[in-house]
Amino acid sequence: MATKILIVDDEPMICEGLSQTIDWESIDVEVKGIAYDGLQALEILNKHKIDIVLTDITMPNMDGLALTEELTALHPYVEVIMFSGYDEFEYARQALRLGVNDFLLKPIDIEELLSIVKRLQHKKSFSENNYSDLREQLKLTIQKQLFRHYITTEEINRWEKHYKSCCVVVAEIKEYARGKEKIEQEGQKEHLMAMIEEKIAVWSQQFIRIWKHENEWIYVCCGDDSSLSVTEDHLEKLQKQVEAKGIKMQAALSAPGSFQDIRVLYEQADTLLTLIRGTTKGVTVGGNDELQEASFSASKAFKDQLAVCIMGGQAAEAKELVQEVFDELIEKDTAVDPVFRIMRELEVVIKNKVFSQVQERTFDINEFKLQQDVDTRIYNTPEDIQSFFMEDMLRMAGALSNRKETNWIIDQVLYYMKHNYQHDLQAKAIAETHFITPNYFSILFKQETGLSFSDYLNTLRIEKASELLLTTSNRVFEIAEYVGYSEYKYFVKVFKKYKGTTPTQYRAMNTTNTQ
């Protein structure tokens, strides 16, 4: 990874000269920014990870010496190279006392500067090897706390001497189940992790990332009162930056605490995230007393009406009733976990009402989706729970009916396909519009038609193409596009599979036979 350097001087020409005329790339250095005084430099340091600061001494607002003092307190791992146009011993003495690595006189000798930077790179590489070992030891101690393994008092005390304060950030990707394929294809997890860690590295003296779940990022941030600055405002800005990249994120921040309380801090952050999961709120922090789990109770009339629809096989009416409930839950900005519990309990109530009216037990509710363990970190939107609930209601209606349980859905889908086969039809999208999972939709479609969704769609398209080949003079590629195939070669391949011959041969043979 390239060494990142920040150039600080109140003379723009010197900044530009040092930035653009030196072949930094040859020694694997990236100029991360330019500042014209110490205050501007600190702003950049608070936003980006910087390895080396190259700074003048005499500057307005905040000079190089004052900047170095701030770096010693806030960014102790940043190396400082100082330069000046004045050959004064007092300047050099103060600079060295503050921990400045080297003191150069203007005009700067470029070879000498590059030599100093290379020496600091070597020093940093050596330090990072030792730092890496210490970091692994710290990570192991934190993992012991989080996973409730045995840990000695001496081990806790060792790290508390270094880190007086800690906090925990827990983050996840919103709409994970519905977008999982896209998330993995586009590497959204890696992008999210990189964006979070770039910021947390600035906001804390040290941080450790822990994995417990495929859609959970746990960051234990350590430092002291001056070096630990993870705030709600910081996380909200980060969330907006993440969403600008097309990734929906929700995060929770614990209150600050001691190193020995890391397990408690994680549990607090995890609980906070549960309270906003699936809502419109992006970030929450410890101490937010406004967060409360939403309450909801379906009316007796609604329960009776839904039970009647299920017993009567009125699936379309049942769907409308369920939609009304979910519209109300979403309007109240209800989190996923209470939505799951509410609908799970409602499902049992409907089952009991149905069984009170019919003698035969035609289904086992324990096999239904919402009566099993649903991972709300994966299925983390109310719409996911709505799909499961509607699917369960259809199973219940189908089990009570003499006809196939999905007759009304498949009838609608077949009608739609016959009138829209030219368009890009996707089974997943059609399943979502009917609030059932794509896998369940595929099973039901095959039960009803005897064909898979793609086979049925291809059959429609090829039959229409066959008709057009015999009744029009349109060219084959035009017919292919008309019936929904954008790629000519693929159309020919599919046509041959279903008809045993190419479209051109089919037209020639059947035209000859007709004549």
Mean predicted lDDT score pLDDT of the chain:
85
User: How far, in Å, CA of 310 to CA of 405, rounded?
Assistant: 11
The answer to whether the pTM exceeds 0.85 is no
How many CB atoms lie under 10 A from the CB of residue 424? Answer: 8
How many CB atoms lie under 10 A from the CB of residue 134? Answer: 12
Of the pLDDT bands very low, low, confident and very high (cuts 50, 70, 90), residue 40 is very high
| Whole-number pLDDT of residue 301 | 83
Q: What is the pLDDT of residues 364-415, one digit of tens each?
A: 767 788 988 899 999 999 999 999 998 888 878 777 764 444 456 777 888 8
- Which CATH superfamily includes the segment(s) 162-285? Reverse transcriptase/Diguanylate cyclase domain (3.30.70.270)
Domain 3-125 class in CATH = alpha beta
User: How far, in Å, CA of 359 to CA of 452, rounded?
Assistant: 36
Closest Cα partner for 431 from 478, 386, 381, 401? 386
Residue the block writes with tokens 């086969």? 421
| Residue of higher predicted confidence among 184 and 117 | 117
**Average pLDDT estimate for 441-446:** 83
407-515 maps to CATH 3.30.420.10: no
Residue 6: in which H helix or E strand, if any?
Answer: strand 3-8
Residue % of the chain over a pLDDT of 70: 89
Helix axes 300-311, 336-357, angle to 10 degrees: 60
Q: b/e map of 276-293 (b: 16 or more CB within 10 Å)?
A: bbbbeebbbbbebeebee
